[in-house]
Amino acid sequence: MKQESVSQSTPPASPPPSPPPELSAHRPQDDGHPPALWIFGYGSLVWRPDFAYSDSRVGFVRGYSRRFWQGDTFHRGSDKMPGRVVTLLEDREGCTWGVAYEVQGDQVSEALKYLNIREAVLGGYDTKEVTFYPQDTPDQPLKALAYVATPQNPGYLGPAPEEAIATQILACRGSSGHNLEYLLRLADFMQLCGPQAQDEHLAAIVDAVGTMLPCFCPTEQALALV
């Protein structure tokens, strides 16, 4: 999966953060460009990276679970009705599936500049180094940069019953679309990963949405939500 075009939907406002040194040392470039970098996506980055990359891998990170515990007042919600998007929770038994994207040369600064706005400035996410295991070569793990919303960020909502999360998702939309689209696109990705990729939290929210949707609005309106 290669994407050469890159969206300029959010003009860079400030110089991008440079990747953590430990992530750069592994692939020194001899052409004066910054070293190649892998970026791990586990939420909207899975289906909408919107930056140019040279390669991508489906796989997982260990020691983290994905949770719809981050509030979002821009992309999938508003100040009055914040949506819910995902973050990573440290969990010794956890395993989170997603996509790692390799950026090289000019792509590195362009990706970091873009993600700094989309994830950090607009989303409240911080960067964190993770170890990524490609589905096809889990014996050859990669160091990658992930964007994680910690409990200290102002948009953090924390745990809630899956039914309550589903209700919030059904009621919210933002500048990138309805919160239900965000949930269903992530669920679609997990389906594509195959039976070995399980996410009980995500599945429980999708089930709760399926139960509530008919009561929430008639079918034709439900289809118009996404």
Ligand X SMILES: N[C@@H](CCC(=O)N[C@@H](CS)C(=O)NCC(=O)O)C(=O)O
Mode of pairing for the β-strands spanning 126-134 and 173-174:
unpaired
Q: Which of 45, 61, 183, 209 binds ligand X (CB under 6 A)?
A: 45
Binding residue for ligand X, selected from 36, 176, 205, 206, defined by CB under 6 A: 176
Answer yes or no: are the C-beta atoms of 84 and 168 closer than 8 Å. Answer: yes
Does residue number 76 form part of the binding site for ligand X (CB under 6 A)? yes
Cα gap 185→83, rounded to integer Å = 15
Number of residues that bind ligand X (CB under 6 A): 19
Containing 163, the helix (H) or strand (E) segment is: helix 162-171
Q: Please, which residue, 75 or 113, has the CB nearer to ligand X?
A: 75
Max CA separation in the chain (angstroms): 60
- Does 59 contact ligand X by CB under 6 A? no
Nearest CA among 61, 67, 42 for reference residue 204: 67
The yes or no reply on residue 42 touching ligand X (CB under 6 A) is yes
In this chain, which residue has its C-beta nearest to ligand X? 43
What positions carry a catalytic annotation?
119
Rounded to whole angstroms, what are the CA distances from 112 to 50, 75, 166, 221? 12, 18, 31, 38
DSSP 3: B
Q: Which stretch binds ligand X (CB under 6 A): 25-33, 45-53, 133-141, 209-217?
A: 45-53
From the list 67, 147, 170, 208, which residue makes contact with ligand X (rule: CB under 6 A)?
A: 147
Regarding 189 and contact with ligand X (CB under 6 A), the answer is no
* Cα separation, 76 vs 83, whole angstroms: 5
Shortest Cβ 7–ligand X spacing (Å): 11
Contacting positions for ligand X (CB under 6 A): 41-46, 48, 72, 75-76, 85-86, 118-119, 123, 125, 147, 176, 182
